[in-house]
Amino acid sequence: MFTMPSVIHLIIRLLVALVASHLIVVHDAEETWMELFTKDYYYLSLLYSMIIAFVLIESVYQITQRLNSIFLDFSITRARLKSQFYIGFVCTGIFAFVLAAVLFWLNGQNIFESNYFEKLYASILLFIFATNVIYVLYYHYGFVPKTRYQIVNVQSAVDLEKRSIPALIYYENRVCIAVDFEGISSILPNIIEESMRMLEPNNYFQINRRVIIHRSVISSVKPFRTRLLKIELRIAVDLPDTVDLIVSKRKMVIFKQWLDVKSN
């Protein structure tokens, strides 16, 4: 399902691919830009180059997503950078050569007899390297949860401890995020099923594959679409688009029974 952020990301990738392909096509041209715009071969070359540029961006993106699932905290560690370099840069660089060789072959040319390595390949490798760097920095600075601190006195310490228990736990980008009753988020080291096994079943319920919810955070339960239930929260939580508070069909009956049981 497409969301607004994913559509914006797609548009950005297409625009970057378009600009990169234009620069590749015109970098060694004898004609001016205005003259090239009147030539049919310019647009055909632009289309080929744009497809390759977009495929390379998509490759780096998918590789980075895969590495994010392995290095869960998005930290820029030596192991992460090493993996990103060998898989995201070196392997994608080899893939770029293969794509170019196929394109030359389809046009009846031998890539080794062309000026591809002398005039193009270095720029393409620089483009792949920059794409890797941008994605690594984006996920590191955009998705690492920021620590929030509170100054409390001794009298409120007990109340704060009660409030800091998870009100909601959700799973996103291979990471389990716990949100307490104050809206403060933190990363859990367990997957969603492991987290559920560690929690008190009278107070917590796993409503679907991605979400565990505390009884006290439920404000109301409303019908949703056909035979589904949607949960409204007492607190404001900014959930990702891929995470919803819908009780799955197979858990509907159990959830209703659980909701009727008063916690001790």
Q: How far is CA 241 from the centre of its chain?
A: 11
State residue 5's pLDDT score: 64
Instruction: Summarize the confidence of residues 113-127 as an average pLDDT.
Output: 88
Residue 263: pLDDT over 50: no
Residue with the bigger pLDDT between 175 and 4: it is: 175
The DSSP output letter for 165 is: S
Residue 93: pLDDT over 90: yes
Instruction: Summarize the confidence of residues 234-255 as an average pLDDT.
Output: 85
Least confident of 10-19, 39-48, 118-127: 39-48
Band (21; pLDDT cuts 50, 70, 90) = confident
Residue 84: pLDDT over 90: yes
- Helical H segments across the chain, by residue range: 4-26, 33-36, 40-70, 78-83, 92-106, 121-143, 154-163, 192-198, 252-260
State residue 157's pLDDT score: 37
Residue 206: pLDDT over 50: yes
**Domain residue ranges in the chain:** 4-143, 154-260
Strand partners, 221: 231
Band (184; pLDDT cuts 50, 70, 90) = confident
Instruction: Summarize the confidence of residues 160-187 as an average pLDDT.
Output: 79
Instruction: Summarize the confidence of residues 89-112 as an average pLDDT.
Output: 91
Output the CATH code of domain 154-260: 2.40.50
